[in-house]
Structure 1
Amino acid sequence: DPSKAAGDEEEQLAAFRKVRDGIAARVRALARRLN
């Protein structure tokens, strides 16, 4: 849960970006399987 990330603003943004990128990768993989 990135909303619970500790650290300064840059570290918190990095946590959100990591989760965002992980979600995007899973969506792309799902789309490939459905095609």
Structure 2
Amino acid sequence: MLLSVPLTMIAKIVLTASDDTRWLGLLLSDEVAEPA
């Protein structure tokens, strides 16, 4: 339980770094995506 927040933040950063997985990283974030 103690590591759940840091591991989630690492996953979010890694997922948003790639264009192929950015959508998954945005699901973990609190940002609202711009409509395409």
Give the TM interval when normalised to the shorter protein.
0.3 to 0.5
Higher Cα Rg, which structure = 1
Larger proportion of helix = 1
